[in-house]
Homo-oligomer: A and B are copies of this chain.
Amino acid sequence: MSTKKLRVGVIGCGAIGREHIHRLMTVVPSATVVAVYDYFEEAAQKVAAAYEGIAVFPSGEAIIESEAVDAVLVATTDDTHAGYVMHCLDNEKYVFCEKPLALTAPECEAMLAKEKAIGKRLIQVGFNRRFDVGYREMKQAIKEGEIGEPLMIHSAHRNISQAPGFETDYAITRVAIHEIDITRWLLEEEYEEVQVLTVKQSRRTTGDWLNPQLVMFKTVTGQRVDVEVQTDGAYAYDIQCQVVGEDGTLNLPDPAKVWKRTNQSFSYSLTDHWAKRFIESYDTEFNEWAESVVADQLVGPSAWDGYVSCVVSDALILSRKTGVPEKIKLVEKADIY
In this complex, how many residues of chain A approach chain B with their Cβ under 8 Å: the count is 75
Measured in the bound complex, the distance between the Cα atoms of B21 and A1 in whole Å is 12
Interface 0/1 of A122-154, CB less than 8 Å to B: 000000000001100110010000111101101
A77 at the interface (CB under 8 A from B): no
Measured in the bound complex, the distance between the Cα atoms of B256 and A271 in whole Å is 14
Q: Is the CB of A198 within 8 A of B222?
A: yes
A292 at the interface (CB under 8 A from B): no
Question: In the complex where A154-B226, A201-B222, A263-B248 touch, is A256 in contact with B258 (Cβ < 8 A)?
Answer: no
Q: Is the CB of B247 within 8 A of A262?
A: yes
Q: Is the CB of A250 within 8 A of B246?
A: no
Of all chain B residues, which has the CB nearest A4? B52
Measured in the bound complex, the distance between the Cα atoms of B333 and A105 in whole Å is 51
Complex partner residue of A257 from B203, B218, B253, CB under 8 angstroms? B253
Q: Is the CB of A265 within 8 A of B255?
A: no
CB A168 to nearest CB in B, in angstroms, measures 16
Complex partner residue of A260 from B134, B148, B248, B256, CB under 8 angstroms? B248
Of all chain B residues, which has the CB nearest A27? B27
A14 at the interface (CB under 8 A from B): no
A59 at the interface (CB under 8 A from B): no
Q: Is the CB of A235 within 8 A of B250?
A: no
Measured in the bound complex, the distance between the Cα atoms of B151 and A263 in whole Å is 17
Measured in the bound complex, the distance between the Cα atoms of B264 and A233 in whole Å is 11
Measured in the bound complex, the distance between the Cα atoms of B156 and A257 in whole Å is 18
Q: Is the CB of A256 within 8 A of B259?
A: no
A194 at the interface (CB under 8 A from B): no
Chain B residues, CB < 8 A from A228: 152, 154, 244
Measured in the bound complex, the distance between the Cα atoms of B264 and A272 in whole Å is 7
Query: A226-B226, A236-B265, A265-B268 given. 8 additional CB < 8 A pairs?
Result: A27-B27, A146-B260, A152-B199, A200-B221, A202-B246, A235-B248, A249-B260, A256-B256
